[in-house]
Amino acid sequence: MVVPETSPPEAVPPLISAVIVSHNCRAELERCLDALARSTVFDRLEVLVVDAGSRDGSAEVDSARPWVQVIRMPMYFGKTRARNIATRSAHADLILFLDPRVEVAPDCLEKLTALLEQRSDATAAFPSFRDPEGNTVECAFQLPDPATLRRASLNLEPLPRAPLSGGAAEGVEDWAVLVRKTFLAGMNYLNEKRFSEHWALLDVWRQIGGAGRRLVCAPDAAAVLHPPLRPVAGREELASDAVAGAAAYLAKHGGFFAALWFRIQCFFAALFSLRLALAWNILQGRRLDPTQ
C-alpha cells in the first residue's frame, strides 16, 4: 500500500511585526517586551529587536524570551537604517514602530489593528499616551514649516502639538505607531539615504497625506510613555543630524534652494549662539550614520 505524501500545514503569518531599535537600554527594553508578552494578540505577534552595538546586555534579551528575534548591528547607524533592516525582513502586513520606553496596554495592539481594519482610508494608527503618573501626553502635530523645523532641529525639541481633526493627525511622534507594510514597501521603505536618526517618519507622514490617506488615533488604545532614554550621541552631533535630516526633507518636498537656505540659516544660528562645533558639523552636513 502506498501512503500518499502530505504537505505540512502552512504556518499562519503574524498579524503584526513589532520593530524596536535598542541601544544600551536593557531595563527599558525588557519592560517594553514584557508588555508585548501580555498583549491579547501575542500569538499573532512577531517581535524584531534591532540592537545597535549595545554594551549593556540589550542584545541578549532573547535568551529569556525565545519569541524575540534580535538583529545585532556592530554600531549605531541611526533609527532609519535599523528600522529598515527589520521592516524588510518582517512577515506581517502591519508594522509597529515601537520605542523601547513605551509600555503598551494588553489590548492596545488589538484596538489599533481593529481601527485599521475598519478604516479603509487609514494607512497608520497610533494610541493615546499617558506618563507613568497617568497624565496625558500629546503626540500629534501639524507638518512643520521650515522655521518650526529649524527650531526643533537646532534645539532638539518636539514639534508643537496640534489637536486632532476628525480623529486624524498630520503627523505623530514615533513612540508607537502601526503602519501598513504595503505603503512602506510602495515608497521603498524609509529613506536611509536622506535620514539617519531624525525626520524619516515625518517624510512618511507627508507621503501618507499626499496620497490622500490618513493617520488616525485609536483613543481607547492605551500606552504608557516612560522618561527619555540616555542620548545615543552628544547634543551637537544629534542636532547636526536633525538639521541634515530636516534639510533632506525640505529638499525632497520644497526643492534644492529651500534646503540650501535652511542650512544657511541653521549654520548662522549656531554660529551666532557660539555653538561652534554644531556650526562646523552643519557646514559639513554631518549625520549620525558614520557611513554617510
pLDDT at res. 3 = 44
pLDDT single digits (tens) 45-81: 999 999 999 999 999 999 999 999 999 999 999 999 9
Q: Give the integer Cα–Cα distance in Å for 285 and 201.
A: 20
> If you compute the radius of gyration of the chain from its CA atoms, what whole number of angstroms results?
20
Q: Give the integer Cα–Cα distance in Å for 68 and 53.
A: 17
Residue pair 184/95 in contact by the 8 Å Cβ criterion: yes
Amino acid at site 23: H
pLDDT, mean of residues 146-152: 98
pLDDT at position 1 over 50 = no
How does residue 2 score in pLDDT terms, banded at 50, 70 and 90?
A: very low
Q: Give the integer Cα–Cα distance in Å for 223 and 266.
A: 35
pLDDT at res. 94 = 98
Q: Give the integer Cα–Cα distance in Å for 56 and 63.
A: 14
The residue among 1, 9, 90, 78 whose CA lies nearest residue 45 is 90
**Bridge partners, 179 (sequence order):** 95, 124
Amino acid at site 43: D
pLDDT single digits (tens) 83-95: 999 999 999 999 9
User: How buried is residue 280: exposed, middle or buried, by Cβ count under 10 Å (0-12/13-18/19+)?
Assistant: middle
pLDDT, mean of residues 31-35: 98
pLDDT single digits (tens) 8-27: 455 688 999 999 999 999 99
Q: Give the integer Cα–Cα distance in Å for 22 and 19.
A: 10
pLDDT at position 6 over 60 = no
Question: Vertex 104, ends 165 and 179: CA angle to 5°?
Answer: 55
Phi (first) and psi of residue 101, to 5 degrees: -90, 5
pLDDT, mean of residues 100-121: 97
Residue pair 16/109 in contact by the 8 Å Cβ criterion: yes
**Which domains does the chain possess?**
16-225 (3.90.550.10), 235-284 (no CATH)
Question: HEC states along the chain?
Answer: CCCCCCCCCCCCCCCEEEEEEECCCHHHHHHHHHHHHCCCCHHHEEEEEEEECCCCCHHHHHHCCCCEEEEEECCCCCHHHHHHHHHHHCCCCEEEEECCCEEECCCHHHHHHHHHHHCCCEEEEEEEEECCCCCEECCEECCCCHHHHHHHHHHCCCCCECCCECCEECEECCCEEEEEHHHHHHCCCCCCCCCCCCCHHHHHHHHHHHCCCEEEEEEEEEEEECCCCCCCCCHHHHHHHHHHHHHHHHHHHHCHHHHHHHHHHHHHHHHHCCCHHHHHHHHHCCCCCCCC
pLDDT at res. 146 = 97
pLDDT single digits (tens) 169-191: 999 999 999 999 999 999 999 99
pLDDT at position 207 over 50 = yes
Residue bearing the bigger pLDDT, 290 or 287: 287
pLDDT at res. 289 = 84
pLDDT at res. 10 = 59
User: What whole-number percentage of the chain has pLDDT above 70?
Assistant: 96
pLDDT at res. 291 = 76
User: What whole-number percentage of the chain has pLDDT above 90?
Assistant: 93
pLDDT at res. 13 = 87
User: What global pTM score does this model have?
Assistant: 0.94
Please identify which residue in the block is written with the cell numbers 492596545: 108
pLDDT, mean of residues 197-221: 97
